[in-house]
């Protein structure tokens, strides 16, 4: 039986709530589940407002727009990330500047950020500009990577330099700091995703959350074609059709009810991996910062090719022959052909994480037997007996 990397877990009120939508005819982008989902996410993340969208990428696009990022400005974002935030920056005509990850927790490196802002940027006409390109720094868009909250020093540094912070918390719903604050609650606006591979899913969906009433209502307007009159088709500006449907929001409400049990399952899986794998020479499991409560959305290890005797891709292929699905981390965005020519700041850690990183099976529903199979396959003795095996 194959073991998947990560599959959705549907075991709560999903069927009931969706049936309710179908029975009442409220299937489209208006309906009580959209309101319920937005209120529940706002409450959960400690934000005053939330606006649901068709996906997390659309939420990022809207967040950049309401935060007022302008064409030809620059937005500092994480090099170690899924590509969505960099693409969203381009949607508003701005340019990404890729910042490296810290070597311990793999989040945007606060020291490198501070050094970039103080050495490579300068104020002109009251606004921070990149000295090399002459462009204004419009915002910073750090990513909470792999379910672990990003270092809050990023927020402090951004504030010290007067920068708006858009948090990409798409992978980190439910993650928090040791003082109880949720990932996605400490910047100016935050985005979440409910794509099929996220901790909770609506099949496809997203949300943005903020305390700023004007931003929330502008986002609500922009996601519904900026219609300014409830009856007449009058539109004050070019809008988007980005609203989540009621059926999918119903799925989201049901999934959100189970979030804490999902996080508990993920953390249990992570603890078992950490305890068993950290004794294997050359395998370094991801680490939770002392100030963090991670959801361990995607459990990842670094493989030292020399010490372990196999590099991350060889290990990936051998596990595949054992019907175990794993995945490397994302190509660092400063190396992405889609963003060729963009700037980056000393992204050597990102490149090492890409070379050595491998995410292991960690579905919420992963059984103990399945996890034991993964752990056994990583055992150095099993490795040497299977190394170089045929496909
Ligand atoms: C999943 C994800 C997104 C948004 O993805 P969608 O598929 O558009 O919902 C954005 N940023 C990061 C870091 C992600 O992992």
Residues 292, 215, single domain; the answer is no
- With tokens 């693409």, the residue in question is 87
Distance CA 164, CA 141 (A): 9
The answer to whether residue 390 is domain-embedded is no
Domain range for 215? 14-99+108-256
Among protein residues, the one whose CA lies closest to atom 6 of ligand 1: 56
The answer to whether residue 350 is domain-embedded is yes
Domain finish residue from 256, 288, 305 = 256
The pLDDT, as a whole number, for residue 30 is 80
Q: How confident is the model at residue 229 (pLDDT cuts 50, 70, 90)?
A: confident
Q: Is 20 left (phi over 0), alpha (psi -120 to 50) or beta?
A: alpha
**Does the C-beta of 184 come closer than 6 Å to ligand 1?**
no
Q: Which atom of ligand 1 is nearest to the CA of 55?
A: 9
**Does the C-beta of 81 come closer than 6 Å to ligand 1?**
yes
Ligand 1 center to 231 CA (angstroms): 34
The answer to whether residue 230 is domain-embedded is yes
**Does the C-beta of 210 come closer than 6 Å to ligand 1?**
no
**Does the C-beta of 168 come closer than 6 Å to ligand 1?**
yes
Other C-beta atoms lying within 10 Å of the C-beta of residue 369: 9
The count of domains in the chain is 2
Ligand 1 center to 262 CA (angstroms): 19
Q: Which of 198, 236, 199 is nearest to 217 (CA)?
A: 236
Q: Which atom of ligand 1 is nearest to the CA of 193?
A: 9
Q: Which atom of ligand 1 is nearest to the CA of 60?
A: 10
- Mean pLDDT, residues 140-154: 98
SS3 (DSSP) at 182 = strand
DSSP string, 232-292: S--BSS---B-PPPHHHHHHHHHHHHTHHHHHHHHHHHHHHHHHHHTTSTTEEE----TTE
Q: How confident is the model at residue 391 (pLDDT cuts 50, 70, 90)?
A: very low
Distance CA 19, CA 253 (A): 13
The torsion of the CA quartet 273, 277, 279, 280, rounded to 10 degrees, works out to: 180
Two structure tokens written together for 118: 């103080």
Q: pLDDT by residue (tens digit) across 300-321?
A: 999 999 999 999 999 999 999 9
Distance CA 142, CA 157 (A): 12
Ligand 1 center to 369 CA (angstroms): 30
Q: pLDDT by residue (tens digit) across 231-258?
A: 899 998 999 999 999 999 999 999 999 9
**Does the C-beta of 113 come closer than 6 Å to ligand 1?**
no
Distance CA 216, CA 210 (A): 7
Ligand 1 center to 349 CA (angstroms): 22
Q: Tell me the CA end-to-end span of the chain in Å, nearest whole number.
A: 17
Q: Which of 64, 161, 133 is nearest to 344 (CA)?
A: 133
For residues 236 and 228, is the Cβ–Cβ distance under 8 A?
yes
Q: Where are the alpha helices (DSSP H) in the chain?
A: 14-24, 32-45, 56-66, 84-91, 110-115, 153-160, 213-222, 246-257, 259-277, 305-308, 312-321, 348-356, 368-378, 380-386
Residues 229, 295, single domain; the answer is no
**Does the C-beta of 57 come closer than 6 Å to ligand 1?**
yes
Q: What predicted TM-score, i.e. pTM, was given to this entire model?
A: 0.97
Residues 34, 178, single domain; the answer is yes
The pLDDT, as a whole number, for residue 230 is 81
The answer to whether residue 6 is domain-embedded is no
Among protein residues, the one whose CA lies closest to atom 14 of ligand 1: 170
Residues of the chain with pLDDT > 90, as a percent, come to: 95
Residues ≥6 apart with Cβ < 8 Å to 87: 57, 338
The pLDDT, as a whole number, for residue 388 is 64
- Mean pLDDT, residues 341-356: 97
Residues 268, 187, single domain; the answer is no
**Does the C-beta of 195 come closer than 6 Å to ligand 1?**
yes
Question: Nearest 5 degrees, angle CA 118-CA 124-CA 130?
Answer: 50
* Averaged confidence pLDDT in the chain: 96
Residues 88, 132, single domain; the answer is yes
């Amino acid at each position: 039986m194959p073991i998947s990397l990560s599959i959705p877990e549907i075991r709560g009120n999903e069927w009931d709530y969706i049936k309710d939508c179908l029975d009442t005819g409220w299937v489209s982008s208006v309906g009580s589940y959209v309101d319920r989902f937005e209120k529940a996410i706002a409450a959960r993340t400690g934000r005053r407002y939330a606006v649901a969208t068709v996906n997390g990428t659309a939420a990022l696009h809207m967040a950049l727009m309401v935060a007022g990022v302008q064409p030809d400005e620059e937005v500092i974002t994480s090099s170690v990330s899924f590509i969505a935030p960099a693409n969203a920056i381009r949607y508003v005509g701005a340019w990404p500047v890729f910042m490296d990850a810290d070597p311990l927790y793999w989040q945007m490196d606060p020291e490198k950020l501070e050094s970039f802002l103080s050495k490579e940027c300068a104020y002109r006409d009251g606004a921070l500009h990149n000295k090399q390109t002459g462009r204004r720094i419009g915002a910073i868009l750090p990513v909470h990577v792999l379910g672990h909250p990003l270092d809050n020093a990023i927020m402090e540094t951004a504030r010290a330099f007067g920068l708006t912070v858009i948090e990409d918390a798409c992978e980190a719903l439910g993650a928090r700091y040791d003082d109880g604050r949720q990932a996605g609650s400490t910047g100016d606006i935050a985005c979440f995703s409910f794509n099929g591979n996220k901790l909770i899913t609506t099949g496809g969906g997203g949300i943005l959350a903020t305390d700023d009433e004007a931003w929330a209502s502008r986002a609500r307007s922009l996601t519904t074609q900026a219609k300014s009159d409830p009856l007449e088709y009058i539109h004050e500006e070019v809008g988007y059709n980005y609203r989540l449907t009621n059926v999918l929001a119903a799925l989201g409400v049901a999934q959100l009810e189970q979030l804490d049990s999902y996080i508990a399952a993920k953390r249990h899986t992570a603890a078992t991996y950490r305890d068993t794998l950290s004794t294997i020479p050359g395998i370094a499991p991801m680490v939770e910062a002392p100030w963090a409560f991670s959801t361990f959305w995607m459990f990842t290890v670094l493989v030292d090719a020399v010490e372990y005797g196999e590099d991350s891709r060889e290990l990936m292929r051998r596990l595949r022959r054992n019907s175990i699905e794993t995945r490397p981390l994302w190509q660092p965005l400063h190396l992405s052909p889609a963003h060729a020519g963009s700037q980056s700041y000393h992204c050597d850690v990102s490149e090492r994480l890409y070379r050595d990183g491998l995410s292991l099976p960690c579905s919420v529903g992963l059984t103990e037997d399945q996890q034991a199979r993964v752990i056994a396959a990583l055992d150095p003795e099993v490795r040497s007996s299977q190394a170089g095996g045929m496909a």
